[in-house]
Amino acid sequence: MTDVLDDKAALALLDRLIREVTGMVIAPDANFFEAGVDSIQLVEIHTRLVAALDRELPLWLLFMFTNMNTLATRLVDDVTALPPRSASPPAAPAGHRHSTAEERRELRARIRQEGR
């Protein structure tokens, strides 16, 4: 999907994904849950939406914006603000490394010792 997403395209995408996952046609202003969409189906719609838009969208969006109109408007804003998932992740700072489990245990032990 392109970086440009308008309300009409967002609504069409949501309508298609909802039909694919639920087999239902839902009015753009109908509440997903009142229309019969369950939370498991919303998770599947989210998975497909993330893939279609190539953006990491939080799952809670589908539970907060519970109809196609409000969700489409939010998606238009998010798609322009978020980088594509396929973009290379930023490089780690020079000299940065992750701590090991042993290092974390030692740090906790030192903190406990200092607290006495």
Q: Which whole number is the average pLDDT over 62-72? A: 95
Residue range 5-24, pLDDT digits in tens = 899 999 999 999 999 999 99
- Domains of the chain, CATH where assigned: 7-81 (1.10.1200.10)
Write down the pTM of the prediction: 0.70
Phi, psi (rounded to 5 degrees) for 43: -65, -40
61/50 Cα distance (integer angstroms)? 12
**Can you tell me whether residue 103 is helix, strand or coil?**
helix
**Can you tell me whether residue 24 is helix, strand or coil?**
coil
Q: What is the mean pLDDT of the chain?
A: 86
6/61 Cα distance (integer angstroms)? 17
9/111 Cα distance (integer angstroms)? 54
